[in-house]
Chains A and B, each alone.
Chain A
Amino acid sequence: MLRIRDASVTFPASDGPDVHALDHVSLDIAPDSIVVAVGASGCGKSTLLNAIAGFLPLSEGSITLDGKEIVAPGGDRGVVFQKDTLLPWANVLDNVALGLKYRGMSRGERHERSRRLLELVGLADFAEKPPYELSGGMRQRVGIARALATDPKILLMDEPFGALDSLTRETMQQLLASVWAKTGKQILFITHSIEEALMLGTTIVVMSPRPGRIVARFDADFVRDFAERGDIGPIQSHPRFIELRQEIRSLIHQPEGARTGTLQ
């Protein structure tokens, strides 16, 4: 269980007032759930994820994973970045095996395990290739396999499909849904696409900028259906889907003055 309590992150600005990138955010991520944070650019989504990953210190509040306070990056939290961070000098298999190598697992064992993960993400035939010979979508799949290899408690994904074309993106969403259904890993997923949030989230939190806050949360269940059927069409025409999409859209597009008005 990941527990975020009153977490705030303030960046000092060179001109003008400090930026409250995250302002007293509280959120729980239960095992077996996919929490999707959705919001316009600059609302603090990456800041939230970076704080959980341990890349950024909190100004206030606390984040604990299974009761343990997060102070630095660590192998218990797997991260998938928007831009892939694969090592160009290692082939795909060794990239997936990197975290296992850090743990001192023997070469044979870590390769065997990495091959299974490459099968899971549909890249078994590309094990020996250097990453720069793969397409953007394939590289993201390698990134997911690499993050899963060390069996982290939680997977943190910051707009992992944001740089992909829409067709590849759909394939990747399906892949993630099925990986989640198979592994039951808890996931924090960040996106600015409302459709993506609804397709993948068991919980969707909507964030707003200046200061970065969670303004609403919704429970959804489309991802199970999506994982089973692998078809976006019928889900996206579901009345509940359309209703939620409209609601989230109006929350995100609400003018700032109006929102602070309702909060006060």
Chain B
Amino acid sequence: MTLAANSATSFPSSTAQRAPSPRPRRSASTSTLGISLITLAALIALWFLAAHFEWASPLFLPSPGEVLTQFSAVWADGYANGTLLDHTLASLTRIAAALGVGIFLGIPLGLLMGLNRWVKGIFSVPIDLYWGLPPLAYLPLLIIWLGIGETSKIVLLSLSTFAPICFAAQAGVRSVPAERINAALSLGASRLQLFTSIILPSALPEIMTGLKIAIGAGLSTLVAAELIAAQSGLGYMIMSAANFLATDVVFVGLIVIAILAFAFTSGMRWLEHRLIPWKGKI
């Protein structure tokens, strides 16, 4: 009897407690952030310990302090024909140019490929073919055709950002629910209105995903390209430093690239929140 009475009184109160908690998702994401920060701190602490007790030779693993000193030195005095800012800006300019080309060619062509079977038929074969190749494999060819200067690098990077954006725009068009299109047509939409008011916004989440993939692909191709043929850029700086076993400068370069990648990811997440807050709803 007491048991029954207990459960009868405790049950409603527990549901009443649960009801007002407004957004369980957000609390989950903040708790992940805390764990991530702790992991990061632990990794840095491990680095300190490893360097302090010389688990590896200082030649291979510089201490955090040395890297910090080297960071300000490279920032102020430069390394390999340029300051850290010069190299970073050189890399950023290339990736921005490549993203620009990828967006301005990839989105329209991808949309057209999603809309028209002729356009898709004509363009999907060449894009599929080159997208299957490792960029560094055709870089020598681009250098032969376009020279060692900026053009060959920007073309190389544009090729690696273009394909994912183009594929995503195409997938975005094809992901529009048929009923949404039918509904708009029954409301009297013209072809142009159908495109601007239904197809384009419906494809936006896919396009944003493609953009994220393009940034990743561009960043990795960029550094690889600068390792092989460049006179500036973070990849070039890392490669020059490695040639002289300046491991601390290599670390500086890697940290800057990691920060850039993180900034791009966060920026994209912010853009998604702003542009498509409805993603995944309905």
Taking Cβ atoms with an 8 Å cutoff, the residues of A that contact B are: 53-55, 72-75, 77-79, 81, 83-89, 98-99, 101-103, 130-132, 146-147, 150
Contacts and interface: CB of A to CB of B under 8 A. Distances in A.
A188 B43 CA distance: 67
A147 to B, nearest CB: 8
B180 A85 contact: yes
Contacts of B189: 102
Contacts of B187: 75, 78, 98-99, 102, 146-147, 150
Contacts of A98: 184, 187, 197
B201 to A, nearest CB: 5
Given A73-B182, A79-B183, A132-B278, A87 B198 contact: yes
Nearest to A84: B282
B177 interface: yes
Contacts of A99: 187-188
A72 B183 contact: no
Contacts of A55: 182
A18 to B, nearest CB: 22
Given A102-B193, A130-B278, A85 B188 contact: no
Given A89-B276, A132-B278, A132-B282, A103 B182 contact: no
B207 to A, nearest CB: 14
B185 interface: yes
B201 A87 contact: yes
Contact of A85 (B179, B193, B281): B179
A56 to B, nearest CB: 10
Contact of B281 (A75, A84, A88, A150): A88
A102 B188 CA distance: 6
Given A102-B190, A150-B188, 20 more contacts: A53-B186, A54-B186, A55-B182, A72-B185, A74-B185, A74-B186, A75-B187, A78-B187, A81-B179, A81-B182, A85-B182, A85-B183, A89-B276, A98-B184, A102-B184, A102-B197, A131-B282, A132-B278, A132-B281, A147-B187
Nearest to B177: A85
Interface residues of B, number: 20
Contacts of A87: 180, 197-198, 201
A89 B201 contact: yes
Nearest to B193: A102
B202 to A, nearest CB: 8
A54 B185 CA distance: 9
B188 to A, nearest CB: 3
| B interface, over-half SS | helix
B183 A74 contact: no
A179 to B, nearest CB: 18
B172 to A, nearest CB: 14
A88 B182 contact: no
A73 B185 CA distance: 6
B189 to A, nearest CB: 5
Nearest 6 CB-CB pairings of A with B? A75-B188, A99-B187, A73-B185, A88-B278, A132-B281, A85-B183
7 contacts: A74-B185, A79-B186, A84-B282, A87-B180, A99-B187, A147-B186, A150-B187
Residue of A75, A98, A132 ringed by the most chain B CB atoms within 10 A: A98
Nearest to B204: A89
A193 to B, nearest CB: 22
A149 to B, nearest CB: 8
Contacts of A81: 179, 182-183
Contacts of B278: 88-89, 130, 132
B34 to A, nearest CB: 29
Interface string B193-219: 100011001000000000000000000
B282 A77 contact: no
Contacts of B198: 87
A103 B188 CA distance: 7
A130 B180 CA distance: 17
A54 B189 CA distance: 14
A54 B193 CA distance: 18
A65 to B, nearest CB: 13
B188 A74 contact: yes
Contacts of B281: 88, 130, 132
B186 A86 contact: no
A105 to B, nearest CB: 11
A102 B184 CA distance: 9
Nearest to B198: A87
A132 B188 CA distance: 24
Contacts of B184: 98, 102
B186 A73 contact: yes
A131 B282 CA distance: 8
B182 A86 contact: no
Nearest to A77: B186
Nearest to A100: B187
Contacts of A84: 282
